[in-house]
Structure 1
Amino acid sequence: MTSLATLSRGDYRVRIIQDSDQRNPRSEFTNLAHALTIDTHLGNYIEVDPDGGPLEAAWKRVAWNYKAGVDTFERYARIYHGATVIEHRPARGAVSLWYLTAADIEEHGIENPEALIRTEISQYQAWADGEVYSLLAEKLALLQEIGKPEAPIRREWNSFHAESGLYGIEYATEAANDLLDRAPETWAAVSG
């Protein structure tokens, strides 16, 4: 298990490790925003989310001409459904439309729909780019064979806390620093 980064304070350290076992957050978690995949590569990308939400049928009617279709869909969604729509065009990967209808916003009491959509996009894109991480907290132990004071002292890191499912290296680094800032005695309680 290779660490991408290690943050240390005294006898404690937290290693950031790439987590290759995480599944698509669109299928693993409850998401509030809806995502529609724009097929710009003749079906060569998997869908961002197989359930395009309540406006999926409207998108399918205009998707044949995706360039004009995006503008048409955004206008329709905004005028008839009070939707907030964000187009996502990553450097690599599927192009997509993300949206929340006025009904979604009201039902869930969302104060900043654009921020919520951008958070879900960021989480999905981190997963799609393979940027999901785990943390492994360790404490340095000094070990010597019992009854042999002349025996060499070995240094060994013992892990005692782990967290997984951290999307994006910035978030993982922030979580590792937060973990080191807390008293190590609280780590066991955090790990559940």
Structure 2
Amino acid sequence: METIETIENNGIRARIVVDPDPINPRKDGLNKAYALTIDTHLGQYIEVDEDGGPLAEAWARISWRKDAVEVFERYARIYWDATTFFDHKSDGATVIWYVLGAEVPHLDLLSPPYFYIRFEAEQYRRWAAGEVYGVITERMTWWMPVDPTDERTTMLWEESNAQWGINGYDLARWEAEEAAPYRVDAVA
């Protein structure tokens, strides 16, 4: 497992590595937004969600129109009080993300639905691009010989913790900095 960056302080080091087996964030059961994949660039990309949520049938009825995205978003806002986010990038599937207005009170969101939808979309994009990391925390350990006449000691790094599934390098770096504190009194 290749280390991307190492942060070392006070006998603790944190290594940032690429997560070798990241879980698709759309399959972890924690999603609150629906993702309606409308273009996979001729099958080059996988569909974000297989069913597209409760408004997939409405999309299927109008998807042939040139103004289908605008009509769908308007329909979702007017009839379902939905919050939508149209996510169109050249390096991935084109998706309409949405949350139905009736579901918002039950979702326990910490921010307005639009920001949460953007967060879920960005999380998925990072996973699809392979930008999921792990932080392995290690402590410096001195190994003393069993034989008292042997004066050699060995310093080794011993793994104390590992955190996987961190979406985005910036968050992984922050986690690594938190794991390897700069202050001496912060070391437990």
After TM superposition, the score normalised by the length of structure 2 is 0.88
* Structure 1: unaligned runs, 5 residues or longer: 186-192
State percent identity of aligned pairs: 40
Contact (CA 8 Å) 1:20, 1:130: kept in 2 or not? Answer: no
Higher helix proportion:
1
RMSD: 1.9
Q: Mapping of 1:21-60 within 5 angstroms?
A: 21-39=21-39, 41-60=41-60
**Deviations 1:113-132, CA, capped at 9 Å, x for gaps:** 01110111111111001011
Q: Mapping of 1:21-100 within 5 angstroms?
A: 21-39=21-39, 41-65=41-65, 67-100=66-99
Contact (CA 8 Å) 1:86, 1:97: kept in 2 or not? Answer: yes
Q: Secondary structure at the match of 1:22?
A: coil
CA drift at 1:165: 1.1
**Deviations 1:31-58, CA, capped at 9 Å, x for gaps:** 1000011125223321001131111111
Contact (CA 8 Å) 1:34, 1:100: kept in 2 or not? Answer: yes
Which amino acid in the other structure matches residue 4 of structure 2?
L
**Corresponding residue of 1:171:** 171
Which amino acid in the other structure matches residue 127 of structure 1?
W
Q: Secondary structure at the match of 2:64?
A: helix
- State the aligned residue count: 183
**Corresponding residue of 1:147:** 148
Out of 124-133 and 55-64, give the one that drifted further.
Answer: 55-64
2:106 pairs with 1:103: no
Q: Secondary structure at the match of 1:139?
A: strand
Q: d(CA) in 1 for partners of 2:40 and 2:68? A: 12
CA drift at 1:88: 1.0
**Deviations 1:55-99, CA, capped at 9 Å, x for gaps:** 11111112224x511111011111111111101123411111100
Contact (CA 8 Å) 1:7, 1:15: kept in 2 or not? Answer: yes
Q: d(CA) in 1 for partners of 2:180 and 2:156? A: 19
CA drift at 1:147: 2.8
Task: Pick 1 or 2: higher relative contact order, CA cutoff 8 A, min separation 6.
Answer: 2
Q: Mapping of 1:14-25 within 5 angstroms?
A: 14-25=14-25
CA drift at 1:175: 1.5
